[in-house]
Chains A and B, each alone.
Chain A
Amino acid sequence: MVIIKRKELSFIEKLYLPQIFQALSHSFRAMFQPRITRQYPEEPLPTNEVTRGQPRLTLLEDGEHLACVSCGLCEAACPAYAITIDGHETERFIEREPERFEIDMLRCILCGFCEEACPKDAIFMSDELELADFSRAALVYDIDKLKRPREELQGRIDYFYQVNDRWRTPSSTS
């Protein structure tokens, strides 16, 4: 058994008033501290290339066609079954392109597996994070909503190559 000796309070301490005034002065000074609130829609969160936002499809340099060849690897890699691809034939050299490429943003868990699975640099995680609409149907994004010029995603693409060089063998990068 341990007997703890409590500190005897002096008369001034028993009055509590000095401590109360000390606390009041502390909270008064807090009123003039810089604010820590972020005014969200006006001041968005800072993002960088490490940010893993919603997946987006890259366009080729012609700015018209997708880099996607509708191989279906991302669809297979997707753990949340968010991606749906219908491919069809094309006269272009790549022979196949997606007719329909839909990502259900309500299912997407922003894991980035699609980006890792893609052999053609066609899908990358962007820094876009905001997701709001009035219906579920509107949140199933089609090609028109997903396509982005390659320059917009360039930061992410560079970062992606930098980190993934660790396990990419030379044959698979070519």
Chain B
Amino acid sequence: MPLPLVWLIKVVLIYGGLITVAAAMSLAERKVSAWIQWRVGPNRVGPWGLLQPVADGVKFIFKEELVPEGANQTLFRLAPILSAVPPMLAVAVIPFAGEVSIGGHVTTLSIADLDISTLYVVAIGGLGIYGVILGGWSSNSKYSLLGGLRASAQMVSYELSLLLSILVVVVLSGTLDLRQIVNDQAGPIFAWNIFALPVGPIAFLLFVIATFAETNRHPFDFAECEPELVGGFHTEYSSMKFALFFLGEYCAMTVMACLTTVFFLGGGNIPWWPDAPWLLELTCFLSKMGFFLFLFLWVRWTLPRFRFDQLMALGWKVMLPIAIANVFVTGALLSLGWFA
């Protein structure tokens, strides 16, 4: 089998998986919300409502595409694409499992193995905010503009804490390569970065909180904030353009769940079993990822939304100082040989 075909298989598998997970998340969101509120949730389309995402997709396609008067035509059409593409690009470097043999070629189960994949993920992930800002600004609606502005302020402030907590992991592992970071956490469960006392748990907590803010999820969903801003930045969007924003949000959640797994929970590593077969590693990775995806939903249906000034105060006055101090403590402990 030629090598490009192997790549093609990997690309199709991983992107197909990502889109499937995103579609499943739209169902899971409604199911989990229903369960938490003692309801049943969608159960009419297919067994247990499993075909609901398909029905939703068909409905989205048949809805009218509205472009509001006075909207910036080009940017209005570009914004959903800009919001959906970056998380899809970011998934390319996630190391899902170790070495796999496809058609005689031994290859790793990730689309690309970059030496600087951490930088790549962070840089690409930072682009996602453009879709939100441009979508809010180009709609020519005050609610959309407010939503876009809030989202940009929020994402910029929380990106700092996010990067600083990633930096702790990078310092601990001594590499920017996600696969190396995963390999570094092989062995006993205490090799996971979350158990790198005392800085690991703090970095983990900061990272998880920052991912909620980065993906605009509850309790930080100021970009949409239904009671105040109607629908926030996507108020004026309809049909598949609206669906693309949702796809982008769920893809971003999936990528963030993958990154949390890679940075802090040892990726696909099974504790005390470094040479596990790749299928088990993949299952292990996906179940860890699934837990964090569930956490997104779980938190959404538990906590109320913050007030915007409280959100900013939390980001700048609490999380950022802790994150900076955490990086310094990590460096100091590392130079003292604490983690040896």
User: Which residues of A are in contact with B by a Cβ distance under 8 Å?
Assistant: 20, 23-24, 26-28, 30-31, 33-37, 39
CB distance from A99 to the nearest CB of B (A): 45
Cβ-based interface call for B36 (8 A): yes
Known contacts A23-B302, A24-B298; A31/B40 CB under 8 A: no
Residues of A within 8 A of B39 (CB): 35-37
Q: Is the interface of B mostly helix, strand, loop or mixed?
A: loop
Chain A residue at minimum C-beta to C-beta distance from B31: A31
Residues of B within 8 A of A26 (CB): 302
> Are A30 and B299 touching (Cβ within 8 A)?
no
Query: Number of residues in B with C-beta < 8 Å to the partner?
Result: 13
Cβ-based interface call for B301 (8 A): yes
User: Which residues of B are in contact with A by a Cβ distance under 8 Å?
Assistant: 32, 35-40, 43, 298-299, 301-303
Pick from A27, A34, A35: contact of B301, CB below 8 A: A27
Give the distance in Å from the alpha carbon of A39 to the alpha carbon of B32 in the complex: 18
Beyond A24-B302, A34-B38, 12 additional contacts (C-beta under 8 Å) are A20-B303, A24-B298, A27-B298, A27-B301, A28-B36, A30-B35, A31-B32, A31-B35, A31-B36, A33-B38, A37-B40, A39-B43
CB distance from B302 to the nearest CB of A (A): 4
Pick from A24, A33, A34: contact of B299, CB below 8 A: A24
> Are B40 and A28 touching (Cβ within 8 A)?
no
> Are A35 and B302 touching (Cβ within 8 A)?
no
Residues of A within 8 A of B43 (CB): 39
Pick from B37, B40, B303: contact of A30, CB below 8 A: B37
Residues of B within 8 A of A36 (CB): 38-39
Give the distance in Å from the alpha carbon of A31 to the alpha carbon of B31 in the complex: 10
